[in-house]
Structures are given as structure tokens and as C-alpha cells.
Amino acid sequence: AQSVTQLGSHVSVSEGALVLLRCNYSSSVPPYLFWYVQYPNQGLQLLLKYTSAATLVKGINGFEAEFKKSETSFHLTKPSAHMSDAAEYFCAVRPLNAGNMLTFGGGTRLMVKP
């Protein structure tokens, strides 16, 4: 079965520092990959997605993610953290031949220190 692992349930960075949130998936065939952001008491919002086109995907709010097949990874980065980036981030994966179902990682809470 498809699975996705987010390393680090909590990540803390200083404002202006690099943000790196890690996501690894298990699949022999590169799947579709997604990153979502959730602010307190809200639903999830799509940040970006990888659908077998460019390996470096740019999303909203200055975030980007790079698909690395050799490492089965899809880490999320942002060069300079802003206080408004504090939220929970979820990585999700869907195999190419498994219908519409997404499998979500356990989430990473990003804290931004002033």
C-alpha cells in the first residue's frame, strides 16, 4: 500500500530563515504528490502539486517543492520564513493507477519565531 512519511511533527524556524519540511513516499512508480497547508480551525488549502511534469514545482506563498525520484522525496521549501507561514503542513500522495484516493502524511506543524 502507498504510504507517505513526514519527518518531524514539529519544525521551528526563525523569521527570515529557510523553511524545509520533509516528505518521503513509498512507491515503485512516481505518483502524484501534493502539499497542503492548514491554518487553525480551517480546512486544508492546496499549496502545490507534482503531476509528472517539471520536477521543481512552485506553489503559492513562495513555497516550492522538488520531486526526487531517486530519493522518493518531495520536500517543501521556502527561502525566507514569514510569521504568517506558521501553520500545519500535510504531504499527500496518490498512485497513478489507484483512482482518486489520496494518502496523507501525519502533518508537520511549522512554528516561526520572531
Partner 1 sequence: DGGITQSPKYLFRKEGQNVTLSCEQNLNHDAMYWYRQDPGQGLRLIYYSQIVNDFQKGDIAEGYSVSREKKESFPLTVTSAQKNPTAFYLCASHRGPSGGYTFGSGTRLTVV
Q: Which three cell numbers stand for residue 6?
A: 513526514
* Interacting residues with partner 1 (CB under 8 A): 9, 32, 34, 36, 41-46, 49, 51, 90, 92, 96, 99-102, 104-107
Q: How far is the CB of 80 from partner 1 (least distance, A)?
A: 25
Provide the minimum distance between the beta carbon of 49 and partner 1 in the complex, in angstroms, as a whole number.
5
The dihedrals phi and psi of 59, each to the nearest 5 degrees, come to -125, -160
Whose Cβ is closer to partner 1: residue 53's or residue 114's? 53
List beta partners, residue 103: 93
Please identify, using beta-carbon distances, which residue of 1 and 83 lies nearer to partner 1.
1
Minimum Å gap between C-beta 77 and partner 1 is: 19
Q: Which three cell numbers stand for residue 74?
A: 518531495
- Report which DSSP code applies to 40: T
| Single-letter code of the amino acid located at 76 | L
Q: Closest CB to partner 1 among 28 and 100?
A: 100
Tell me the closest approach of the beta carbon of residue 25 to partner 1, in angstroms. Answer: 15
Q: How far apart are CA 41 and CA 68, in angstroms?
A: 32
* Closer residue to partner 1 (CB): 13 or 92: 92
What is the rounded distance in angstroms from the CA atom of residue 3 to the CA atom of residue 10?
20
